[in-house]
Structure formats: structure tokens, C-alpha cells
């Protein structure tokens, strides 16, 4: 059964259609595996090879990967929620109650979006502190740290703008408290607040602005900076490795040892 499946897959991979889509061809050689990364528009921002010890749970706790995971979950559930939601007053609130009581799995969808959002904020903070305590922000990775800080701010803004959308008491007063702070900005505080809310108080204009920020501007910014963040990992020589991180010894150690000039160790060719 398994071999028949393998044969079928192998035959599909030989077809002209498949070959026209995937440039790297088929095969299990190291070259093909490298090409699977390098020849793919989405994966080519990753390095083709990684240090084995950086795959250990203890090295990263996978916090960056998991933060990206919550973002993917949020995009998927967010798009589905958009099918049922109108950013207008008072329709927004009735749409959210409909999600709860009328729409099939609407309650589950909203729960998953909400909890993933909290998880993303938590994981982004955890990722920040983990990277700091490992010292992984040090040169040449300093600019990637800055991009990480930008991504943390985008994450907070994404969560904050989403907070208003249900248009319930919790949303309204949380945003009122938050937007009052922006009027404390010296000299142009009231103008900043007016720009943010589209008015002098949290109203239908504010809801529309927060909706556009939450569903278009901020997610696109996040994707933009996430791409740079991952690409810089490759450009800066892979994940930061501490000298004290234990080396994994394996049987093939002798042969697998990599030759590299000390200064360029782990650096990928562009």
C-alpha cells in the first residue's frame, strides 16, 4: 500500500505539469533538498542548512516559530470572521452576538481568534526576553533585534485595534482609556487623537479606522517585517549559537564536519 502510494507520488512528480510548477525537480539528494528551499519563493528567505543543535528545544523553545504560528492562525480565523462582520454601529455588536448564537462554529471561530491574539502577544514578549537572555541580539544581529522590536509594537497595535471591533462595553472603554493617553502627547496630542479616532470621541468613525488598521494596514506591515526578520536570520549567519551550547555528537560526526573559514562560518551565499 505504502509503496503504491510512493509510486503514485513519484509518477505525479514526473509529470510535465508538476515539473513546470516546481523548478527544483525531484529527488532526495542533498542538492534537491537544498533546492527545495532555495528555489521556492516563500522558503528561499530561509537558509538551506541549519546547525543541528539549534533545532533542540532548549536552544530556542521555538518561540519565534510559535509566534509566527499564532499569526497564521489569526490571519485564517480573521479572514473567516470578516465574512460575518460589518464595521458599523450598532451592526458590529449584533454581528458579534450572531457569531455567538447564530453562525455555525462562529463562537469557536471568535474564541480561537481571541485566544490566539493573547497567545501572540505573550509569545512575542517571551521571544524578546529569550533572545535577550541568550545574547542573540549581538552584532551582526543588532538590526534584526530592532526589527523584532518593531514587530512587537505591530503585534501590540494589532491586538489593540482588534479590541475595539466587538463594540461592547469592554471594547469601548478600553479604547477610550487608551486613546485618552494619546492626547497627552505634547503639542499635537489632540491632533494625534483626532487622527486615530476620526473624531473627538470613540464613535463609528473610530470603529471604521480601527477596522482598516486591524485588517489591512497592520497585517500587511507585519508580513513585510516578518519577511525581513526571517531573511536577516539567514543573512546574519543563522540562529545565534552560544559556545556553551552542547554539541550533538553523532556517528557520522567525522564526515559531517563542515569546513568553513572561521569568519564566514554558517554564512549563506546569497
Partner 1 sequence: MSTPKDFTTGVGSDVRTSQRRVLFITRRTSAMVKRTDEEQVQTYPAALVRAALAFELLTIGLVLMSLFFNAPLEGIADPTNTPNPAKAPWYFLGLQEMLHYFPPVVAGVMIPAVLVAGLIVIPYFNVNIEADGMFVKDRARRLRIFYLAAPLLSVFLLYFDVYVALVPTLLVAGFMLLAAHSGPGSASSLRRYLASRAVSWWIMTWFLVELIVLTVVGTFFRGPGWSWVWPWRS
What part of residues 143-202 is at the interface with partner 1 (CB under 8 A)? 145-146, 149, 153, 156, 159-160, 163, 166-174, 176-178, 180-186, 201-202
In the complex with partner 1, the residue whose CB is nearer, 46 or 217, is: 46
Among 9, 10, 12, 55, binds partner 1 (CB under 8 A): 55
Among 25, 26, 48, 134, binds partner 1 (CB under 8 A): 48
Cell match 519577511: residue? Answer: 227
Residue 53 binds to partner 1 (criterion: CB under 8 A): yes
For residues 210, 212, 213, 217, the Cα torsion angle rounded to the nearest 10 degrees is 180
CA-to-CA separations, 179 to 174, 209, 219, 221, 236, in angstroms, rounded: 9, 13, 21, 22, 39
Rounded to 10 deg, the angle between the 204-212 and 189-197 helix axes is 80
State the minimum distance, in angstroms, from the CB of residue 60 to partner 1.
Answer: 10
In whole angstroms, what is the distance from residue 136 CA to residue 98 CA?
Answer: 46
For residues 50, 51, 52, 56, the Cα torsion angle rounded to the nearest 10 degrees is -90
Among 100, 200, 216, 220, binds partner 1 (CB under 8 A): 100
Spatial contact of 236 and 48, defined as CB atoms under 8 Å apart = no
Among 9, 15, 115, 246, binds partner 1 (CB under 8 A): 115
Binding piece for partner 1, criterion CB under 8 A, among 7-15, 79-87, 88-96, 220-228: 88-96
Among 26, 46, 194, 198, binds partner 1 (CB under 8 A): 46
Residues 205-244 contacting partner 1, CB under 8 A? 241
In the complex with partner 1, the residue whose CB is nearer, 60 or 215, is: 60
In whole angstroms, what is the distance from residue 119 CA to residue 234 CA?
Answer: 26
Cis peptide before 90 (omega within 30 of 0): yes
Among 37, 80, 157, 208, binds partner 1 (CB under 8 A): 37
Amino acid at each position: 500500500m505504502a509503496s503504491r502510494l510512493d509510486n503514485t507520488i513519484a509518477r505525479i512528480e514526473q509529470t510535465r505539469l508538476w515539473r513546470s510548477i516546481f523548478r527544483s525537480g525531484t529527488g532526495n539528494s542533498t542538492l534537491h533538498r537544498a533546492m527545495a528551499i532555495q528555489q521556492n519563493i516563500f522558503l528561499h528567505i530561509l537558509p538551506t542548512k541549519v546547525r543541528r543543535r539549534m533545532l533542540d528545544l532548549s536552544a530556542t523553545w521555538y518561540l519565534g516559530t510559535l509566534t509566527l504560528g499564532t499569526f497564521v492562525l489569526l490571519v485564517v480565523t480573521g479572514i473567516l470572521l470578516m465574512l460575518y462582520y460589518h464595521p458599523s454601529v450598532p451592526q458590529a455588536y449584533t454581528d458579534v452576538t450572531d457569531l455567538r448564537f447564530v453562525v455555525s462554529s462562529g463562537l469557536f471561530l471568535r474564541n480561537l481568534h481571541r485566544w490566539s491574539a493573547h497567545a501572540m502577544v505573550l509569545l512575542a514578549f517571551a521571544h524578546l526576553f529569550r533572545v535577550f537572555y541568550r545574547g542573540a541580539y549581538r552584532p551582526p544581529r543588532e538590526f534584526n533585534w530592532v526589527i523584532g522590536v518593531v514587530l512587537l509594537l505591530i503585534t501590540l497595535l494589532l491586538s489593540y485595534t482588534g479590541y475595539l471591533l466587538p463594540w461592547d462595553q469592554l471594547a469601548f472603554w478600553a479604547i477610550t482609556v487608551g486613546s485618552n493617553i494619546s492626547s497627552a502627547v505634547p503639542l499635537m496630542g489632540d491632533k494625534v487623537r483626532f487622527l486615530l479616532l476620526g473624531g473627538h470621541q470613540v464613535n463609528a468613525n473610530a470603529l471604521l479606522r480601527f477596522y482598516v488598521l486591524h485588517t489591512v494596514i497592520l497585517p500587511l506591515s507585519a508580513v513585510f517585517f516578518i519577511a525581513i526578520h526571517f531573511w536577516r536570520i539567514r543573512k546574519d549567519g543563522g540562529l545565534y549559537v552560544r559556545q556553551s551550547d552542547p554539541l550533538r555528537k553523532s556517528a557520522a560526526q567525522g564526515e559531517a564536519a563542515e569546513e568553513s573559514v572561521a569568519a564566514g562560518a554558517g554564512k549563506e551565499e546569497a
